[in-house]
Amino acid sequence: MDNNIYLQDVTISFTTKAGTVHAVNHVDLNVNSGEITGMIGETGSGKSVLGMSVLRLLAANSLISGSIIYKNSDLLQLAEKELNQIRGKVISFIPQNPDAAFDPTMKIGKQIIEGFLYHDKKSKAAGISHGIGQLQNYSFHEPQKTFNSYPFQLSGGMRQRALCAMGTVLSPKWIIADEPTKGLDAIIRQQVSQVFLELKKTANSSILLITHDLRLAQKICDTVIVLYAGTVLEQGPAGKLFDEPLHPYTCGLIDAQPHRKLLPLSGMPPSLINLPAGCKFHLRCSCRKDICCLKEPALLEVNGQWVRCWKYA
Ligand SMILES: Nc1ncnc2c1ncn2[C@@H]1O[C@H](COP(=O)(O)OP(=O)(O)OP(=O)(O)O)[C@@H](O)[C@H]1O
Ligand code: SF4
Ligand SMILES: [Mg+2]
């Protein structure tokens, strides 16, 4: 039995007053263990929703179908009690927004070690020492002081790093990190990415890294998944995907980076309430053919990469 996470035909929608939001559409993915897998895509492409779905952390107005298999169990079917044994200890989710994740009335340290004390049944002293060590790992110069601080006493970047410390406190097998380097300056970003590489190497953690930072994804990821309108458009080894992107959307994302052509992608993502027929990217694609507007292409393997585009069918 492997430690991969298998998403099979995962579809997620949200019921809203304006209509049904089709946030994730028939996603099939094997997320390999022992790797850092990057998930990239524009705002609203479904990265966070997909990441949260693994531990069933979605909002109450969500509807999910398909399966998410980990070690022969479907995480979408597990009883809440069984899932609680997995949350944080086996698979942890580091959310995108530290302000919403921390209880403002509780000191940072107490929140960081809560899961550690619950799962590992260690003494409080051992928990405190472990928590302070965690803060040190995430480049806090005064870890003891931070441990005893309230969230509002830290800067946004510090809260972001404290959140990473909380999410990795139990050295979980899987870490799903949603924008863990957002708002951090270059030096701290480098240090946090180093921690992820260390976790992969020393704790044998597998990481799903959701990010807008394509340079970071290129640097530390083994595999990259490209999401658009809740659909996987491309997936492949990071080196290949960034050097020889196949999908016009991936090319657009790469060209839009400041250190590349700084050429913004034209147009806007489609409405998730009224998804377009055919290829979901066709309204913005300069390579569009007639069939693109009518029929959605399948995800096909092309030279070790997976791509959903009629150009390669
Ligand atoms: N509870 C909800 N109710 C209605 N729509 C929702 C809900 N949660 C998410 N969505 C919608 O699902 C879509 C995907 O959202 P998601 O947060 O996954 O995007 P994202 O790729 O993470 O974007 P970003 O890069 O900005 O974080 C968006 O259109 C979002 O508005
Ligand atoms: S399927 Fe057609 S519209 Fe979609 S990305 Fe490929 S060429 Fe462009
Ligand atoms: Mg997000």
Instruction: Say if residue 308's pLDDT is above 90.
Output: yes
| pLDDT tens column, 127-175 | 999 999 999 999 899 999 999 999 999 998 899 899 999 999 998 999 9
Instruction: Confirm whether 72 is domain-assigned.
Output: no
Predicted pLDDT at 156: 87
Instruction: Say if residue 258's pLDDT is above 90.
Output: no
CA angle 83, 85, 91 (to 5 degrees): 75
Predicted pLDDT at 97: 85
Instruction: Say if residue 125's pLDDT is above 90.
Output: yes
Q: How many domains does the chain have?
A: 1
Residues within a 6 A CB radius of ligand 2: 248, 279, 281-282, 285, 287-289, 292, 297, 309-311
Instruction: Confirm whether 55 is domain-assigned.
Output: no
Percent of the chain with pLDDT over 90: 85
Can you give the residue range of the structural domain that contains 126? Answer: 99-171
Instruction: Confirm whether 301 is domain-assigned.
Output: no
Predicted pLDDT at 140: 93
In sequence order, the β-bridge partners of residue 302 are 305
Average pLDDT over residues 190-218: 93
- Protein residue with least CA distance to atom 7, ligand 1: 14
Q: How high is the mean pLDDT of the chain?
A: 95
Tell me, using a 6 A CB cutoff, whether residue 53 lines ligand 1. Answer: no
Answer for the pair 42, 90: CB distance below 8 angstroms, yes or no: no
Enter the pTM of the model: 0.96
Instruction: Confirm whether 125 is domain-assigned.
Output: yes
d(CA 260, CA 305): 22
Instruction: Say if residue 246's pLDDT is above 90.
Output: yes
Predicted pLDDT at 205: 93
Predicted pLDDT at 157: 86
- Return the ligand 2 atom nearest residue 280 CA: 4
- Residue 206's alpha-carbon distances to 155, 203, 237, 256, in angstroms, are 28, 9, 15, 29
Predicted pLDDT at 122: 82
Angle between helices 156-167 and 124-137 (to 10 degrees): 130
Predicted pLDDT at 98: 83
Tell me, using a 6 A CB cutoff, whether residue 154 lines ligand 1. Answer: no
Instruction: Say if residue 260's pLDDT is above 90.
Output: no
| pLDDT tens column, 18-65 | 999 999 999 999 999 999 999 999 999 999 999 999 999 999 999 999
- Protein residue with least CA distance to atom 6, ligand 2: 309
Q: Among the ranges 154-158, 184-188, 232-236, which has the highest mean pLDDT value? A: 232-236
Ligand 1 pocket: which of 24, 40, 48, 56 to mutate (most atoms within 8 A of CB): 48
Distance of CA 212 from the midpoint of ligand 3 (Å): 9
Predicted pLDDT at 261: 83
Instruction: Confirm whether 62 is domain-assigned.
Output: no
Instruction: Confirm whether 158 is domain-assigned.
Output: yes
Instruction: Say if residue 287's pLDDT is above 90.
Output: yes
Ligand 2 pocket: which of 280, 281, 295, 302 to mutate (most atoms within 8 A of CB): 281
- Protein residue with least CA distance to atom 24, ligand 1: 43
Instruction: Say if residue 247's pLDDT is above 90.
Output: yes
Instruction: Confirm whether 27 is domain-assigned.
Output: no
Instruction: Confirm whether 70 is domain-assigned.
Output: no
Average pLDDT over residues 181-188: 88
d(CA 61, CA 156): 29
Distance of CA 76 from the midpoint of ligand 3 (Å): 21
Ligand 1 pocket: which of 25, 49, 58, 225 to mutate (most atoms within 8 A of CB): 49
